[in-house]
Structure 1
Amino acid sequence: MNSIRVISILLSGFLYLLFQILVLKNLVLFGTAFCFLYVTYIILLPLDIKTIPVLLISFFLGIGVDLFYDTLGIHTAALLVIAFIRHRWLLVLVPTGGYEDDLQPSMLNMGLGWFLSYSVPLILIHHVLFFYIESLGTDLFLTSLQKVIASVIFVLVMSIIVQLLFYRRRRGI
Structure 2
Amino acid sequence: MKELGTVAIQLIRFAIYAVVHVLLISRLVLFDLGWCFFYLGFLLFLPLGTPIVVQLLLSFVMGLTMDIFYDTGGLHAAAALLLGYLRPWVLRLLTPRDGYDAQDSVNVHQMGWQWFAVYLLLLVLIHHVTFFVLELGSFQHFGQTLGKILTSVLFTSLALLIVQLLFFPVRRGRQ
Work out whether the TM-score is over 0.5. yes
* Counterpart Cα distance in 2 of 1:172 and 1:76: 40
* Counterpart Cα distance in 2 of 1:13 and 1:108: 22
Q: CA RMSD in A?
A: 1.3
Trace 1:53-132 onto structure 2 (pairs within 5 A).
53-132=54-133
TM-score for both structures, normalised by structure 1: 0.95
* Counterpart Cα distance in 1 of 2:64 and 2:53: 16
Give the conservation status (yes or no) of the 8 Å contact 1:74–1:134: yes
* Counterpart Cα distance in 2 of 1:149 and 1:141: 12
Pairing 1:18–2:37 present: no
The letter for the 1-side match of 2:17 is Y
Q: Which runs of 5+ in 1 are unaligned?
A: none
**1:170–1:49: structure 2 CA closer, same or farther, 3 Å change rule?**
farther
CA drift of 1:170 comes to 4.8
CA drift of 1:169 comes to 2.9
CA drift of 1:102 comes to 2.5
* Counterpart Cα distance in 2 of 1:132 and 1:172: 44
Give the conservation status (yes or no) of the 8 Å contact 1:25–1:69: no
The letter for the 2-side match of 1:52 is V
Give the conservation status (yes or no) of the 8 Å contact 1:34–1:154: yes
Q: Which runs of 5+ in 2 are unaligned?
A: none
* Counterpart Cα distance in 2 of 1:32 and 1:163: 24
Give the conservation status (yes or no) of the 8 Å contact 2:133–2:139: no
* Counterpart Cα distance in 1 of 2:173 and 2:69: 41
* Counterpart Cα distance in 1 of 2:109 and 2:72: 33
The letter for the 2-side match of 1:2 is E
**1:92–1:123: structure 2 CA closer, same or farther, 3 Å change rule?**
same
Correspondence for 1:30: 31
Deviation string, structure 1 residues 123-159 (Cα, Å, up to 9, x no partner): 0010000001001146111111000000000111101
The letter for the 2-side match of 1:110 is M
> Does 2-11 or 131-140 show the bigger shift?
131-140
Trace 1:44-55 onto structure 2 (pairs within 5 A).
44-55=45-56
* Counterpart Cα distance in 1 of 2:34 and 2:131: 13
Q: Which runs of 4+ in 1 moved over 4 A?
A: 170-173
Q: How many residues align?
A: 173
* Counterpart Cα distance in 2 of 1:13 and 1:107: 20
